[in-house]
Amino acid sequence: MKIDAEKCVGCGKCASYCTMRGSIMSFGRNPKNPAKIYALIDEKECVECCVCLRSGVCQQEALYQPELSWPRIVRKNFSDPLKIHPETRIPGRGTEEMKTNEVTGRFKRGFYGAALEMGRPGVGAWFRDVEKAAMALASLGVAFEENNPVTKLMTDRKTGQINPEVLEEKVLSAIIEFLIPQEKLSTLLEALKKIAKKIDTVFSGDIISRVEKDGSISYLKVFQEGSRFLSINGKSNVGLGRPKYRED
Amino acid sequence: MTHTLHRRGDRENLSGDYIVFTMSAKGFNEEGSAEKMKEFLKILLKYHPVNFGDMITGNCYVKSAEEIWHNINTTSIIHAVFTDEVTVSKILQELRARDLGLSVVVTGIHETTEECCQEAGLQKHTVEHSMGIFGDLNRLPEEAVLQLSTMCGHAMVPANLVLRMVREIKKEKKSFQDAALELTKPCHCGIYNPARAEKLLRQLVPLMTYDS
């Protein structure tokens, strides 16, 4: 995102709509008229989410988005949910994951789905940190989700390495999705603590499971026994999709 | 995409926060799904959601209901937000009876949504929980602000906007209700809960100063 210095009157109202908490904004003085100030966006830190532009907060219409080219376009692809990813064909930065699982059979009994959403909530993440997390997960032998925008950026899915051209790009968030065998859950939970210490941002973690035939959720016990946090709220696919995936 | 997950709060304030939504499974039941999603939205609107929308078009506080309905296509994701479990139970019962063949997800307190499913004669197929936030937690805003900002899973509701709304309420430039709606608008999908936001603002505003 950029600000037209000629149009901007330096009111600073757009900072309220900055998902990077406005810390990426500063003020400059018009060289032709030093009495006139205008707002500046630190392009290195801007994630191209477009929230400021879409809000319509700028009465001067000074905000504008120039055409983005590779690799900067990655910022918009991951940060602006109005952008439909060519890989997933859905808007937003994620995938269908468990939302259509009764139809796709993506998450089967015996496995858990998990995801680390790097940069969430509202901090943002550099792809160099996304790579650190992906490489740590790869060392556990996880299976990265094929149809995921982060996986598509990996140059080696066995190591979790990401295309070096995007490592210095910052996004609002990027989701690493993967499958693990149920028996590896404790190992994963320990690995999350180590990843947390290596990165210069935050991530939100989630876990997905097929409900067992008796209605139970097998991972609850692991979290209870380890006194680990698990949200009281979350998502439930209620199984109304057709055709149903046939489990063996 | 976990846009309705990771909503932070306690049992009391999350008990008024439910989202029901649908999408097609690409390559499986995409064909003909637009008309089914239109019917899905019609059903949900009968139950007076506090917010609704489609990721393709926007939420009902920014776009008209007609525009949202008209623009629904096979890649849409249709959401509506409700504030009580009785309504969610009724919706699930009607969706089960209508049998549209599209996947339906309900987000809320798991114990409560389990009861809703049982009352509707449904068994949960797959579930998802948040494992929380990890990393440099010093970078996060206060928990009370997070409860308001995380209702948009795409992080389109900035923490700074929450703080600005607090200031504007304190200066009597905005009512609690108007401030809640202002926070609702940037959440494109229509999953932000303005009723819960108003309640949270009523708790938060007295605790903060102009400089917060």
CATH number of residue A175's parent domain: 3.30.70.260
Same domain, yes or no, for A106 and A219? yes
Residue B197: pLDDT over 60: yes
Closest Cα to residue A82, out of B149, B77, B39?
A: B77
A159 in any annotated domain: yes
Whether A68 and chain B come into contact, CB under 8 Å, resolves to: no
Interval A125-131 mean pLDDT? 98
Question: What residues form DSSP beta bridges with A204?
Answer: A117, B133
Q: Is residue B124 part of a domain?
A: no
Assess whether B86 and B182 both reside in one domain. no
Task: Please report which confidence band the pLDDT of residue A83 belongs to, taking 50, 70 and 90 as the band edges.
Answer: confident
Is A83 in contact with A74 (CB distance < 8 Å)? no
- Band (pLDDT 50/70/90 cuts) for residue A4 is very high
Q: Are B116 and B25 a contacting pair, CB within 8 Å? A: no
Residue A71 lies in a domain: no
B203 domain residue, yes or no: yes
**Paired tokens of A165:** 């051209």
Tens of pLDDT along A171-217?
999 999 999 999 999 999 999 999 999 999 999 999 999 999 999 99
CA angle B64, B66, B71 (to 5 degrees): 100
Range of the domain at B180: 138-207
Same domain, B67 and B18: yes
Q: Note the pLDDT of residue B36.
A: 98
Q: Are residues A109 and A195 in the same domain?
A: yes
Contact status, residue A112 vs residue A182, Cβ threshold 8 Å = yes
Percent of chain A at pLDDT exceeding 70:
96
Residues A103, A164: one domain? Answer: yes
Under DSSP, the state recorded for A174 is E
Q: Say yes or no: B93 and B48 in one domain.
A: yes
Are B37 and B105 in a shared domain?
A: yes
Residue A190's domain spans which residues?
84-225
A22 in contact with chain B, both atoms CB, cutoff 8 A: yes
Domain-ending residue, one of B92, B119, B146: B119
Same domain, residue pair A49 and A93:
no
Task: Note whether residue A76 is domain-resident.
Answer: no
Which of B26, B125, B131 has its CB closest to that of A206?
B131
Domains in chain A, number:
2
pLDDT in tens, A104-113: 999 999 999 9
Q: Tell me whether residue B130 is in a domain.
A: no
Locate B194 and state its tokens.
Answer: 């303005």
Q: How far apart are the first and last CA of chain B?
A: 32
Residues A171 and A93 in one domain: yes
> Does residue B69 lie in a domain region?
yes
Is residue B185 in some structural domain? yes
The CATH number given to whatever domain includes residue B41 is 3.30.70.1110
Q: How many domains does chain B have?
A: 2
Parallel, antiparallel, or unpaired: how do β-strands A2-3 and A63-64 relate? antiparallel
- What is the predicted pLDDT for the residue at A247? 80
Q: Which of B119, B148, B170 is the last residue of a domain?
A: B119
Q: What is the DSSP letter of A31?
A: S
Per-residue tokens: A92:
């937003």
| ipTM computed for the complex | 0.97
Helices B85-98 & B33-45 angle (0-180, nearest 10):
140
Return the CATH number at A57: 3.30.70
> Is B184 within a domain?
yes
User: Would you say residue A234 lies in a domain?
Assistant: no
The whole-number pLDDT of residue A90 equals 64
Query: Does A106 reside within a domain?
Result: yes
pLDDT for residue B71 is more than 80? yes
- Unique residue bearing structure tokens 């037209």: A4
The answer to whether the CB atoms of B133 and A202 lie below 8 A apart is yes
Q: How far is CA A13 from CA A8, A175, B181, in A?
A: 11, 30, 18
SS3 readout for chain B: CCCCCCCCCCHHHHCCCEEEEEECCCCCCCCCHHHHHHHHHHHHHCCCCCEEEECCCEECCCCCHHHHHHHCCCCCEEEEEECCHHHHHHHHHHHHHHCCCCEEEEEEEHHHHHHHHHHCCCCCCEEEEEEEEEECHHHCCCHHHHHHHCCCCCCCCCHHHHHHHHHHHHCCCCCHHHHHHHHHCCCCCCCCCHHHHHHHHHHHHHHCCCCC
> Does residue A27 lie within any of the structural domains?
yes
Residues A14, A63: contact at Cβ < 8 Å? yes
Query: Closest-CA residue in chain B for A107?
Result: B126
Place of tokens 């149903």: A244
The predicted pLDDT at position B163 comes to 95
- Within 159-188 of B, beta carbons closer than 8 Å to A belong to 159-161, 163-164, 185-186, 188
Peptide bond preceding A81 in cis form (omega within 30 of 0): no
Whether omega for the bond prior to residue A71 falls within 30 degrees of 0, making it cis, is yes
Within 8 A of A123 by CB-CB distance, chain B residues are 136, 139-140
A108 and A61 share one domain? no
Instruction: Tell me whether residue B6 is in a domain.
Output: no
Work out the pLDDT band at A91, boundaries 50, 70, 90.
low
Contact with chain B for residue A151, Cβ under 8 A: no
